[in-house]
Amino acid sequence: MGSRIVTLVLIASAPAAHVVSAQEPAAHRQQAAYGLRALGYSEREIDDIVSGRLPRRAVDAARQMVAAGVARETAAKYLDRQIALAETKSSPPPVSIPADPAGPFDRLIDHHAGVHGVDPALVRAVMGAESSFDPDARSPAGAIGLMQLMPATSRELGVDPFVVEQNIEGGIRYLAQQLAAFGVLEHALVAYNAGPAFARRYISGRAPLYDDTRRYLARILRELQTR
């Protein structure tokens, strides 16, 4: 998203009207992300809010809809419409992806996938969906590198996310943890992408799985079927 994106929430504990421009320094966006995380927002929700893809009020409205008994599909469609409205304001340039984007990382993927008992094809599909195999990828919420590790997750895993091999190893280990914790591939992928707390809310029917996450899941499952 470009700098013309709608303004962002500065700190989650402040009134909704307290915002900071997308042109503000990254430290301000990180502060917003930390505040939202402390209030229990999922990593996916934080990323959408801080990037400007969704205003915080839209995320809160969807939460309230589900809490009031509205079908998750209805809340998801509401969020889809909000995303579509935001996307009409900014059209990012197409991304050119090499024919074999995972090629430079094959050795690391195969080795660490074997160590942690994860299918290498799944690792490649997750890496493609998370970062498009870009070691320098950064999300507005602060996710880093190939498998988009958050700083807090990196600290828990004891890895430096700016070092490619540590990022890959940590991402694979974290994915293995979600697979073991949730047991169902779809649920584990939701947990990896949006956080375990959001995954539990989704599984229990307390959160909608809106279009961005559905596309993420569909992309990974489609790639696994073609391998």
Could you give the residue numbers annotated as active site?
Answer: 130
Query: Angle 185-194/164-182 helices, nearest 10 degrees?
Result: 130
DSSP class of residue 19 equals E
Residue 157's alpha-carbon distances to 14, 116, 170, in angstroms, are: 31, 13, 6
Angle formed at CA 30 by CA 24 and CA 34, multiple of 5 degrees: 140
- Residue closest to 157 by CA, chosen among 92, 112, 125, 188: 112
CA distance 164 to 133: 11
What proportions of the chain, in percent to the nearest 5, are helix, strand and coil?
60, 5, 35
SS (HEC) of 211-224: HHHHHHHHHHHHHH
CA distance 28 to 15: 16
Taking the CB of residue 19, how many other CB atoms lie within 10 A of it? 18
- Residue 17, token pair as written in the block: 């009207």
